[in-house]
Structure 1
Amino acid sequence: MDGNKDEANRCIEIGVQALSEGKFQKAEKFLIKAEQLFPTQRAKDVLMQVRNLAKSGNSKEKQEPEQQPESTRKRKNSDSRHAEPDYTTEQLEAVRKIKRCKNFYDVLGITKEATDSEIKKSYKKLALQLHPDKNKAPGAADAFKAVGNAAAILTDAEKRKSYDLYGINEANGQSSGAGMRNQYYSNEYGYARGFQSDVSAEELFNLFFGGGFPQQNVFMRQQRRRQQHRDDRENQAGGSSALINLLPILLLIGLSMMSSFFISDPIYSLTPSQKYSVKRETNSLKIPYYVKDNFYSEYQGSVLRLEESVEEEFITHLKHSCSRERNYRDSMLAKARTFGDRDLFRKAQNMNMPSCEHLQKYLNT
C-alpha cells in the first residue's frame, strides 16, 4: 500500500508539471492513474482544475502560444502559476534520498566511524533542508523527524552502542533481544525500524539552533526517568527497613499509653468540677481549693504540706495574672502619651487590676 502511495505521489507531481506546461491531456492521464493507485484529495482537486482548463480550450497541444489571444495567454499563465508546486526539485529529491536509506548512518550520510561533531554537522545541514517550515515537498515532515531521530540516537553513546549491536539484526528480524525489540518503531521509510529517541524532532532542532547542543539537556528527560526507576527500586527495598526503624518509636508510644493508666489524678484543684466537688480552705491564707469525694478516706499524706502546695500554686497564679494586668495598663499609658490622649490616660490610671489587688491582700496577710 505504501508503494502505491509513493507511485501515486509521483504521478501527481508529473500531472502538476504537465499542467504548468499547459499539457492538459498528459496531466489528466497521470492524475487519473494516481487516483487509481492511491486516492487523495490533492489528486482530485488538481484533476478537476485540469478538466476545467481543458474545457476552456487553452491546451498547448491545440494551438501554439503565438496563435493564442493575449487574454487567453494571460489567463493560462495565471492558472499555471497557481498550479505550480511550492517546492523545488532539489527539495523533493532530498526527501526521496532519506526515504531510500536503510539505517541511521545512511540517513545522516556518515560512516559508522563518524565522531559526534561530524554527526552534528551533518544533522544541521539536513535539518535546515528538510524542516517543514522551509521544505514543502511531500514527506518532508517525516524525513525531518527521521533525521532528528537518527542524530539523537547516534549522539547518545549508550543508545549508539545498542543500535550498532542490535539495529541491523533487528531490522532483519534476527535478533532475540526482547528488550531491544521494545525500543523499535515503524514508519514509511526504507530503514523503517530503529531506536526511537526520547526527544522530538522539533525539540532537537531548537537545541541545535538555539545556542549549541547541550548534551545534558537533550537527554534530561531520559536521565530523570532512569533516576525515577532507581528511586522506585530503593523505595521498595527500603520499605521493610523503614518499618524496622519505626519499631522503637511505636514501642515508645505504646509504653507512654500504658503508663498513662498508672498515673493518678491530682489530689486537689483550684477550680471546682464534677470530679473535684468538695470545697476546702487552707488553714493559713484561707485559700479555697477542691478535692474528690473520697479525699477523707483515701488521702493519707500530710494535709499541712498539701495546703502549702495549694497556697504556693495559688500565689504563683496571681503573680502571673497581675503581671499581665500591669503590662496591659502600661501599654495603654504609653499609647496615651504618644498620641496625647487624656481620656485614654485617665482610663489607664483608673483601670481595675483584680489579680494585683488579691495578691497584695494575701501578701499583707
Structure 2
Amino acid sequence: MNKEAAEDCVERAVSYLSEGKIEKAEKLLAKSLSLHPLKRAEELLEKIKCGAYTKKATSGNTSDDGVRQRPTAGQGGKADSATEAEYTTEQLEAVKRIKKCKDYYEVLGVTKDAPDTEIKKAYKKLALQLHPDKNKAPGAVEAFKAIGNAVAILTDSEKRKSYDLYGSEEQHQPATRRTRTQYEYAYSRGFETEFTAEELFNMFFGGNIPTQHVYMRQRRFHRAEHQQQYREPQSGYAAFINLLPIILLIGLSMMSSFFISDPIYSLTPSQKFSVARKTNQLKIPYYVKDNFHSEYQGSVGRLEASVEEEYLNNLKHSCYRERNYKETMLMKARNFGDRDLYLKAQNINTPSCDKLNSLHN
C-alpha cells in the first residue's frame, strides 16, 4: 500500500513539474520517498536540485508541458539546440487513450465477445507500451494498473460474467457523481484483482509471482482466520444477550403456571371438567371436576352467579355479532336493489339473541 501511495505521489509530482510548480513537486517527491524508496523519485529530486526543471514563465528552453528537455547528442549539448523529451508522443497518447476509456473492453481495445486469447494478446501489446520502466509519460503507472485490472477481470469467467451483468461500481453511481473514468478506478471495490499490476505483468511474460507477496497474503489470511475464530465466541455471546429477554419471558410464564390453579368450572365439557351441573336460578349448564365437592370449599351460590354472569356476557357478544352481520347484509341488499338478497338477509337467524331474550323473559 505504501508503494502504491508513493507511486501516486510521483505521478502527481510529474504533473506539477509539467505545470512549472517546482516547490509542490519537490514536496510530493519527498513525501514519496518517506512512504517507499523509489528510484524514479530520487532521480527527479536530484534533477530539481540540479536545476533541470524551471518555472514555465522563466524557462526559455522548456517544452510546452513545462518539463525541461535534454539536448540531443547531434547538437553538442547546446541549450538552444533541438531537444528530446523524456517520453514520446506515442507513449503520451497511449496513456491519454486509456484515460478516456469507460469500460475494461475499451481499455484493452477488444469487443465484448472477444475470447481470452485475443484479450491476452491485447494486454501484452499494451503492457509493453505502458510499463512504467519504459513509459515515463504522466499517468503511465495508473494506465498500467488499469490494463492489468482489465485483463484480470475479463480472463476470469465468473468475474467477467458479473462485470457484464452489473458493470463496475462506478457505473451505478448518479451521473452528477460519475466523474472518474475506468482509468482512474482500476482497483474499484467491486472488481479487485488478486495480484498487483506488476505481478500480472510477470505472469504474462514468463515471470513468477514474488514469494514475498504470497507470504504476506497467507499471513493476512491466517490473521483473518484467527480474528474470525476470536469473533465467533463474541457473536455467540451477543446472540445470547439478545435472546435473554425472550428466555426470561418464557421462564416467567412457566413459573407462573405453577402458581396458577385450574378454574373451578367450565362452560364447555372436557376430559378434566366432565361432571355436568346447572345453576339453580337460570338453569345454565356448566361442568366441574370429579372432586368438586371435596376440593371446592366456597359458596356454591356465588359460584353459580359467576357462571350465569359469564354465560350472559358470552351471549351478549354473540348476539352483537349476529345482529351486526344481519344489518350489514340488509344494507348491502338495499344498496344493490336486490330483493332476493334482502329477503335472505331478513331470514338470517340470530340464535344468541333469541336465547338472551328467552332468559330475560
Give the TM-score range, shorter chain.
0.3 to 0.5
Larger radius of gyration: 1
- TM-score, L = length of structure 2: 0.46
